[in-house]
Structure 1
C-alpha cells in the first residue's frame, strides 16, 4: 500500500516560522505575527505539562453493525514518549512533551537542555503518524543530549519509552536539510520516528534529520 504524507498538523502550522531545531548558539529572529513554514527551534527549558490522553470518537455510521457493542467505539491516543535511547551511541535521556508558546517577541519551542523534546501535535509512540523528537546538539556548557546523534548509522536501533511500554525503531534514513525545510514534520499515515538536531558548523542553519521505522510491537516495560 502506498504511503502518503499528509499536511502538517495544525498545532505545528502555528509555530513553523521563526523556528529551527536544537541550536542554542543561534540568535532567533522573532515576530509578533503567528509563524508558519519553517522547522521549529528550541530555545528555553520546557514548562509545559503533558496533557492526558483523550479518546477520539470515530465517524458516525448510518446504522450500527451487529456485535458493534463488543467493539471499541473510541480510538484512544497513545501516551507521549518519556525517554529515548540509542545504545550504540551512548544516548539515554528523558523526553518531555513541548508545545510552541508565544511571548511578546513571537513564537518559540521551549526545549530543555537536559532532555529531548517531543513536539506536541505530532504522533505518539505506537500511533500511525510522524513522531517528532528534537534535542540540542550542544549548549553553552558543552555537548547536548543529541551530540552523538551526529554519529548515527542506518540500522541503528532507537528505543523509546512511554507509559504504554517500550517501542523499538530502526534507522532507515539520514539526511541534512536547511532549517526552513518543514517537510520533516509532515504527518504520515504510517508510524515513523523523526529525530532532529542541528549541524554544529558555526552557522547552525542546517538540520540533521534521522528517520526510523518500528521493528516490533510495544512491550510493557518501564524505563
Structure 2
C-alpha cells in the first residue's frame, strides 16, 4: 500500500484535545481496514454456514476533504455519540452499538443475533460532527430480514433522523443511494474525510453468491446534515 498522508486535525471536534501521536498516524490506515471490512466482512448472510471473506490485500487510502454532491445546510455540532436512528420511509427505528476494531485488525460487525441494531464506527466522526460518519447494519441474518433490508428503497430527499447522547436530533437529507460492486468498491469516495457533516449508511445488496457465500454488492446511502434540534 502506498504511503498515506494523515488528514488535517479537526478543530471543531470536542474529543480529547490531545491525541497520542501514534494514533494520529494510524487513523488513515484504520479507515483503509474499515473499508475492506465493509466490503466483505460486516454483514452476515442467510446461508447457515456463511463465513466472511478476508479483505483485499490492497486498498486505496481515503482522500481528505473530498468534494460532496450537496453542501450542508446546517453547521457542524460538537462530538456526541449516536443513540438511535429513525428512517420513517422504510420503517427503521433502531438503537446503535459502537463498532471497534478487533484483534485481527478488522471492524467488529454488529451482533448478528439482533436484527434491529445499527453499528456506528466510533473512531470516526459522530453524526452531526464535521466529517463523514459511517454507520452500517445487516440486510439480513440467518434468522431472516434485518434492519436495513429496505435501505435501497430510499431516494434523494429522504430523511434520516439520529438521536444523539447530548439530546440533539440531527436530520440528514439523502443525496443519493448507490449500489457498488464489491470488486470495484470506491473506497476513496465513501470513506474520505469531508469538510462538512456527512453520513454514509452501508449494507449489503445485489445478488447473493452462494459459492463465495457473500453478496456481490454494497448499497451506500450518501447524505448531508440538513438540520438539528433539541429533543427535550
TM over 0.5: yes
Distance in 2, matches of 1:142 and 1:192, equals 30
More helix by share: 2
* RMSD of aligned Cα (Å): 2.8
Q: How far does residue 18 in structure 1 lie from its aligned partner after superposition?
A: 5.2
Residue ranges of structure 1 left out of the alignment (5+ in a row): 1-5, 39-75
Could you say which residue in structure 1 is the equivalent of 2:93? 92
Q: How far does residue 120 in structure 1 lie from its aligned partner after superposition?
A: 2.5
* TM-score between both structures, scaled by the size of structure 2: 0.66
Distance in 2, matches of 1:94 and 1:36, equals 33
Deviations along 1:162-221, whole A, 9 cap, x unmatched? 11210011111111112243221121111111100000511312110101111113x221
Could you say which residue in structure 2 is the equivalent of 1:207? 218
Question: In the alignment, is residue 174 of structure 1 matched against residue 185 of structure 2?
Answer: no
Distance in 2, matches of 1:116 and 1:30, equals 22
Residue ranges of structure 2 left out of the alignment (5+ in a row): 1-6, 9-26, 61-76, 210-214
Aligned length: 176
Could you say which residue in structure 1 is the equivalent of 2:63? none
Equivalent position SS for 1:188? coil
Equivalent position SS for 2:219? strand
Equivalent position SS for 1:150? helix
* TM-score between both structures, scaled by the size of structure 1: 0.69
Change (3 A) 1:108 1:168: closer
Is contact 1:166-1:221 (8 Å) kept?
yes
Q: How far does residue 35 in structure 1 lie from its aligned partner after superposition?
A: 6.4
Greater mean deviation of Cα atoms: 15-24 or 83-92:
15-24
Q: How far does residue 19 in structure 1 lie from its aligned partner after superposition?
A: 4.8
Equivalent position SS for 1:147? coil
Larger radius of gyration: 1
